[in-house]
Amino acid sequence: MLHTPQTTPHPQELAQVESSDALVACRATDYPAGWEIPPHLHTKHQLLHALQGVMVVQADAGQWVLPPSRGLWMPAGMTHALRCIGTVQMRSLYVQPDATPQRFAGCQVVGISPLLRELIRAAVDVRPPTAPDSRDARLLRLLLDELHALPVLPLHLPMPTDARVLALCRRLLQRLDDSSTLADWAQQLGVDGKTIQRLLTAQTGMTFGRWRQQARLLRALELLAGGAKVIDVALALGYDSPGAFTTMFRKHFGQAPSQFFDDR
C-alpha cells in the first residue's frame, strides 16, 4: 500500500520519527503555495528535499533557496523556519547523528541525484523497525551510502552576526534593485565603510559586492520559480539588461535562468 503524504504538519507522526531508533527514516509532506512553517528544530539531522516546488529556509546562520533536485542538510538542534514558493511536495530524511557523513559540519545545500531521489521515494513507504536482511533494510543502507556522495552547491546566503552589519544586510534584502555603493550605504547608516567590509568578510566570507550578488541570485530563484519572466527579474534586481543578468546567472549556476528548473 502506497504512503499518502500529509497535507499539513502532523506532530504525532513527526514525534514518532524523531523518537525512533532507526538510523534513517523518511517522511512525506505536501504544502500549498505560500505555506510557512514557523521556527522549530529537530533532535536528528534532516535532509530536506522537494519533488516539486521551491523552499526558502531561514536560520540564524543564513538563508537557503532549494529548487527541485536540490536538498538542504540541516544539522540536529538548529532552529529553522521554512517558506514554500508554489505547491511543495517535501520529502524529509531524519538521520541519527552517529550515522551522518562527517563532512557535513553545518547547513549545506546539496545536489539530489536521480538515484537518491528514487531511494527517497521508496523510503517513504518503509516503517521501522526493519528486519536486518530485509529489502527495506538494504534500501536504507544504500540511502545512507548515497548521503556520503552528495555534491555541495552554492545556494547559501550567510548572515553576519555584528548588529551594524546585520542591519545593513537586512536593508539590502529589501532594496536589491538599489545600486548604491558600500560608501553610500555606510554614509546612510552612519557607519565606517572599511569597518563594514572587514566585519562582513570575516563573518560571511564574502565582500559587500559578492554578498549583494549572492542575495540577488537567490532572490532571482524565488522569482523565477514563481513564474516571473527573465526580463522582469533582471530589472527587479537592479541589472542593466536581461543579458547582464543571464551572464551572471550562468557564471554562478552553470545554466541559463530558463534552464535551471528544467529538471524539476
| C-alpha R_g of the chain | 20
Query: What are the distances in angstroms from CA 164 to CA 121, 167, 171, 179, 181?
Result: 45, 5, 11, 20, 16
Instruction: Give one DSSP letter per residue of 176-224, joined into a string.
Output: TT----HHHHHHHHT--HHHHHHHHHHHHS--HHHHHHHHHHHHHHHHH
- pLDDT of res. 228: 87
- Cell numbers describing residue 181: 555603493
Rounded Cα distance between 97 and 119, Å, is 20
Give all strands (DSSP E) within the chain, no chain letters: 24-31, 36-40, 45-59, 62-66, 70-74, 80-95, 108-111, 152-153, 156-158
- pLDDT of res. 102: 60
- pLDDT of res. 122: 92
Closest CA to 43 of 29, 60, 25: 25
Closest CA to 35 of 9, 3, 58: 9
Length of the chain: 264
Rounded Cα distance between 112 and 251, Å, is 21
Rounded Cα distance between 55 and 163, Å, is 27
For the chain, 264 residues long, give each residue's pLDDT as a single digit of tens. Answer: 344 454 444 566 667 777 777 788 888 999 998 999 999 988 899 999 988 888 999 988 888 888 877 899 998 889 999 999 889 999 999 988 887 766 566 788 888 888 999 999 999 988 878 888 899 999 999 998 888 888 887 788 889 999 989 989 999 999 999 889 999 988 888 888 899 999 999 999 999 999 999 999 889 988 887 788 999 999 999 898 999 999 989 888 778 888 776 654
Q: Which residue has the cell 538599489?
A: 178
The answer to whether 221 and 253 have CB atoms below 8 angstroms apart is no
